[in-house]
Amino acid sequence: MTLKWLAVVVATVSITLWATGNVVTLAVDGGQLPLFVNLFVLIAAGTAVVLAVVAELHERLNNRLSALTEFLVAQLNEIESRTGDRNTGFVEGYLLSHGQEAAVVPFGRRGRGAAER
């Protein structure tokens, strides 16, 4: 049972016991439960309700972050599949036109001036 539903059950049971206790005390005694008991039950129920709301908001935020992550991964995979490696086609074409024993030689370093030659 998740935290949210546990908090809802605690709040429901607390309010039910509080109302039942006050009704029984009113019917038998003509009074009510002591103030300490009433405050304790109401504080417990209020805390449980706040905890349930926070747990629900956390669950929604987590679901949205998961959906956003999946969307971004899908978009990045689509971009990668569309762009690919631009040099792959050139190298494959070169190897096909020169046979299997052709060697692929990388370009030299760029930026050399006349002074280095």
SS (H, E, C) 70-82: HHHHHHHHHHHHH
Q: Which amino acid is at 101?
A: E
| pLDDT tens-place values along the chain, 117 residues long | 688 899 999 999 999 998 998 889 888 888 888 889 889 999 999 999 999 999 999 999 999 999 999 999 999 988 877 776 666 666 666 667 766 665 666 676 666 555 554
Which tokens sit at 67? 């959906």
User: d(Cα 107, Cα 93) in Å, to the nearest integer?
Assistant: 17
Whether residue 32 contacts residue 26, with contact meaning beta carbons closer than 8 Å, is answered with yes
